[in-house]
Structure formats: structure tokens, C-alpha cells
Amino acid sequence: MKKVILTGDRPTGNLHIGHYVGSLANRLKLQEKGDYDKFYIMIADTQALTDNVNNVDKVKNNIIQVAIDYLSAGIDPEKVNIFIQSQVPELAEMTMYFMNLVTVSRLNRNPTVKDEIKQRGFNASIPVGFMCYPISQASDILAFNSTVVPVGEDQLPMLEQTREIVRSFQNTYGGNVFAMPEPLLPENDVCRRLPGTDGNLKMSKSAGNCIYLKDEADVVKQKIMNAYTDPNHIKISDPGRVEGNVVFAYLDALCTDEDFKKFLPEYQNLDELKAHYRQGGLGDVKIKLFLNNVMQQLLEPIRNRRKELEKDVDKIYEMLFKNGEKAREVAGETLRRMKNAMGIDYSKFLTK
Ligand code: ATP
Ligand code: MG
């Protein structure tokens, strides 16, 4: 079986370190390994519009931002097809057919969508398009016969929905049209759902609690210095909690023993630092300054590459448009096979 990787992000803002540890790091590893047949990264503008109906400009303008974030983080456009979702209209047609295989009550049970409805304050006015985005996401995955989908934990219900659609399509129409996709989660638990700087469960563009890959050094430092730690750890001598402490979550996700040698040699590793914090006698400023060093080390080269890339955005748009055409060919072929299996391929009625 062919190994096809597909993943994506919504152009609702710049990419943040949650994206980096949750999905981008795995993409970079896969790219490095190179043992795949095709690798796609989709900028999900159509999906972003489902909860941004009055923010078209935001979505439109963030397409290039997300593309620059990918390239500056090290995604190689020679190895990966980066394209824009709306430039592949076949995906929308597939969604129409898949909608008949999913019930409203099934959509209502999707835990990620439920959380997002609360977070966005939709109450009883949930756009139909938003409710159905897990189905359109299934089209994105299935159109390219994807087998591996590198994502964070919030995307597991979407993968489950996609897998159900594959089974349901096969039971209804047969034809073995689709590959069965598998999610690829980060090995490190904390990276699967990195908390926001405010201590909220997930760092997310829509929640405004992010450290962005493009943030300038002083902004990163300021966000770290204001990050949520343990509200009961008031005096340095107080014992502190590591669980739910954002600084420790970020250190768990990012720091290595090498970083201790380089930036905080009094400790050998994170376990020692945690033990001291729990016991009392270790202040927040010290752990925050250490995190700042670790974070700047990761972000500085990304920021520098971004500045170079920003000088020629036309070239990046050109790459995206060309890739969109290639993606259309693949999705078109899947759609043809799908309609054939469904028995709605009318080409045989053509007389000439
Ligand atoms: P939005 O708030 O607009 O939904 P987002 O910050 O949740 O934006 P998405 O574009 O929805 O970002 O997510 C893109 C990818 O990044 C998905 O695979 C998702 O699982 C992953 N991801 C997003 N936030 C995090 C996080 N805090 N921790 C780990 N992975 C994350
Ligand atoms: Mg999201």
C-alpha cells in the first residue's frame, strides 16, 4: 500500500508552538525520513470560513501567513505539496455525497465540535457549514487516499468520523475506493494538546493564548513572563505545583538535557528541576527565564527565515496555485472512482 501523508491547518491566524509540537514537528520528521509516496499539506480556508463568515479578510490574509510559517519552520516545497483547500472544488462535491452517510445525531456527538461551539458562543445559532466541517474534513483526507494524518489530539474525533465514512461508503456502495487513514500523534503526551499561556487546556488561535512562531524575541519573553504557573506558589519558599503549570508543560514539550547544560547547569534535567519546584525554594522567574532561553533557541532561526521569505510572497502564491492544480488532478480521479462506485457516472449516456 502506498504511504500518503495529508494534514492541514486553518488560516485563522499564524501558527503557534501548539501547532509546532502537535503536528509540525511530526511533519518535519516525516519529511526528513522521506519514506512516503506523496505528502500534502492543506491550508483549510473553506473550513475556516465555517466559523468566520464575517471575517473573510482574516481567512484570506492568513493563507500566505500560514504558508510562510510552514516554509520558515522547515517544510520543503520540493518534497511537500502545500495547497489551498478552496482551489480544489472536487472536495466540496465529495462532501455533498458523504453528507448522506452521516446522521445529524452523529455530528452532534463530536466532542471537539461541541467544545468549539461553546468556545465560539454559537449557542442555538450554529452554522450548518460549521456543524458539517468534520464531513468536509473527511473529504480532504480521502480525496488524496491519505494513510497517515499527523495531528494533535483534538483531531481524533475527525479521524474517527472519516474512518466511519470509509466503512459506511464501502457498505453502501462497495468499490474499495478509499484508503483507511490513521492519525499520527506526537509520542510525548503533553505535545498532543499543548495548553495556552493562560492555563487553558488548549493553545488555540481562537482563544488568543498563543506564542506564535513569528513573535519577536521580546514578545515571546513577555508572554512567558506572564504565563500561568501555580497561583498558590506565592513566595519562593512555597512548594509549587508542576501539574497544570504552563511553564512546566512547555518545558516538558521542548527542553532537553542538553538545554540544562547550556542554560541551567545547576540542574541535570527536568526531573531535578520539577523536584526542587515541588519541594519549595525555586522561584517562577528562574524557570521562566530558562524556558525563554529554550524557546528563543527554537524560534530564532524560524523568525529569521520568515524575514527572508516575506521578501517574495508572489513566489509563494505561485507555488500554492501550481500545487492546487496538481491536487485537483488527484482529487478529480478519486471523485470519478467514487461516482463510479455509487453508480452515478453518467458518461455512458453521452452519444458523441
Ligand atoms: P482554531 O482556533 O482556528 O481552530 P487552532 O489553533 O486550533 O485554530 P487548527 O488550525 O485548528 O489550529 O489546528 C491545526 C493542527 O494543529 C491540528 O492538527 C491540531 O490538532 C494541531 N493543534 C492545534 N492546537 C494545538 C495544541 N494546542 N496542541 C497540539 N496540537 C495542536
Ligand atoms: Mg482548531
What the chain holds in terms of domains, given with CATH numbers, is 4-193+313-349 (3.40.50.620), 217-307 (1.10.240.10)
CB atoms within 10 A of CB 106: 13
Note the ligand closest to the C-alpha atom of 207: 1
Centre of ligand 1 to C-alpha 26, Å, is 14
- Quote the pLDDT of residue 124: 83
Q: What is the pLDDT of residue 219?
A: 97
As given in the structure block, the three cell numbers for residue 44 are: 483549510
Residue ranges of the chain with pLDDT lower than 70?
Answer: 352
Amino acid at position 33, single letter = K
In 103-217 the beta strands, taken as DSSP E runs, fall at 148-150, 182-184
Q: Which ligand is nearest to the CA of 154?
A: 1
Which residue lies with its CA nearest to atom 14 of ligand 1? 9
Sign of the dihedral defined by the CA atoms of residues 167, 172, 175, 178, in that order: negative
Nearest to 91 by CA among 149, 139, 142: 139
Q: Which atom of ligand 1 is nearest to the CA of 12?
A: 3
How confident is the model at residue 37, as a pLDDT? 96
Distance from Cα 298 to the centre of ligand 1, integer Å:
19
Radius of gyration (C-alpha) of the chain in whole angstroms: 22
Q: From the CA of 50, which ligand is nearest?
A: 1
pTM: 0.94
Instruction: Give the pLDDT confidence score for residue 145 in this predicted structure.
Output: 97
Q: How much is the pLDDT for 201?
A: 83
Distance 9 CA to ligand 1 centre (A): 7
Among protein residues, the one whose CA lies closest to atom 19 of ligand 1: 152
- C-alpha 204 – ligand 1 centre gap (Å): 6
Nearest to 247 by CA among 198, 303, 204: 198
Cα 204 to ligand 2 centre (Å): 7
Q: What is the dihedral of CA 188, 249, 40, 303, to 10 degrees?
A: -130
Q: What is the pLDDT of residue 210?
A: 97
Model pLDDT, residue 227 = 97
Residues with CB under 6 A from ligand 1: 9-10, 12, 18-19, 22-23, 151-152, 154-155, 192-194, 202-206
Smallest-distance ligand from the CA of 200: 1
Which of the listed residues 12, 14, 19 should we mutate to test ligand 1's pocket, taking the one with most ligand atoms within 8 A of CB? Answer: 19
Ligand 1 geometric centre to CA of 190 (Å) = 14
What single-letter amino acid sits at 272? E
- What does the chain come to in residues? 352
